[in-house]
Each structure stands twice: as C-alpha cells, then as structure tokens.
Copies of this chain bind each other. A is one copy, B any other.
Amino acid sequence: MRIVVPVFDGFTSLDAVGPYEVLRMLPGAELVFAARSAAPVTDDAGWLTVVPTATFDDIVSADVLLVPGGPGARRNLDNAALLDWMRRVHATTTWTTSVCTGSLLLGAAGLLDGLAATTHWSEVARLESFGAAYTEQRVVEQPGGIITAAGVSAGIDMALRLAELIEGPVAAQAFQLAIEYDPQPPFDAGSPAKAPQEAKDYLAAR
C-alpha cells in the first residue's frame, strides 16, 4: 500500500499532514513524500521545511496519490514535468486524490475533465477552467478512483473516507479515535456560507 504525496515549495503543510496522519495507520502503508529532487522543500508560510523521501524519478507507481495544494500548487500549473509525472503515476493508482488547490494540479494534468470535483472555496473558477464541475461538498468521489477534498483541513475528512474504502469502517473509526478527531471548533465559521462578513473582510485585507 504505497501512498505518495508530492511536495513542492509553497505547498500548504496541513493539506499533506492532515491526511498523512490518518493514512499512515493503514496496514502495510508506505508513505512517500516525493519531490523534484532530494533537496528539502519549504511550505507556503516559509517556516516548515520537509525532507523528501524520494524524487519524482524514483516513483513510477502508487496505490494512492495524494496531491496537496497551496500557492505552490498554483505556481506549478504549467510545470509540464510535474503534470506528466502525475499522469503517469495516476495510470497506476487505485485512488488519485487531492486536498485544497491540489485539485487544480489534477485539473491541469487533465484528470478532472468532465468530472465533479471540489477545491478551496476561493479557487472555484480556476477549477472549472479545467473542465471540472465544482461541487460544494467537503469530499467529492468520482468514478475512476478520483477523490477531491475542499480546503486544507478537509483532507482529514477525506482520509477517513479513503481509509473506509480501503480498510473498512471499523478501521476508519479506529483511526479517527487514534487522532481523537472529535472536532469542537470554538466558532462555526469554516465555510463562506457560515463565516461572518467581518471575518471575510479580515481575510481579504491580509
């Protein structure tokens, strides 16, 4: 069960680490953080640097491909080498997945054409520019094993669903218990429909 997470400068850490923390518990899981080279990769905030465990050239197949988003994803939408690698690995996967704007990379690779998909709420138009039909759900499953998750933290929900698909509902619930995922945010502002206008204005002004 090889689960490959491509990382690139400017990725969003939680997009990758949220689902990682769930999927690593799958029996026989081998988690791979793959990058262009062996050089460390720094996230979008600039504070978190991870050491890849493989290069793209090392990886010719995967059971699960999990593509994180972030400003770095947007900067790679015309990176032919990355997109070609994604297409080649996708041809071998059982599940090809994304978190947040990772779906834009799937779209740019031509993997979402004619499919329903989701992304971060701020990037709906760009997602649709790749021929995907934006669907306002936390996790969107499509034929062919393509699953996209909404923004950042949605990767945790997606990973639990993926664990259910791969290992069954008991395992998925065990993993949820292991990470004590009993969410109790102090506010209910996690989507544009729920957040107050002042919070949207604060974000827009950053």
Contacts and interface: CB of A to CB of B under 8 A. Distances in A.
Interface stretch (A59-67, A103-111, A125-133, A170-178): A170-178
A184 B188 CA distance: 12
Contacts of A139: 184
Given A153-B156, A177-B200, A191 B182 contact: yes
Contacts of A138: 182, 184
Given A21-B13, A181-B190, A195-B177, A50 B47 contact: no
Contacts of A13: 17, 20-21
Interface residues of A, number: 68
Interface stretch (A72-80, A81-89, A90-98, A157-165): A157-165
Give the number of copies in the complex: 2
Nearest to A49: B51
Contacts of A32: 47
Given A172-B186, A203-B174, A120 B18 contact: no
Interface in A22-64: 24-25, 30-33, 40, 45, 47-51, 53
A198 to B, nearest CB: 5
Contacts of A30: 47
A19 to B, nearest CB: 10
Nearest to A119: B180
Contact of A189 (B24, B151, B177, B192): B177
Contacts of A31: 45, 47-48
9 contacts: A14-B179, A51-B51, A153-B179, A157-B184, A164-B186, A172-B187, A174-B195, A176-B185, A176-B190
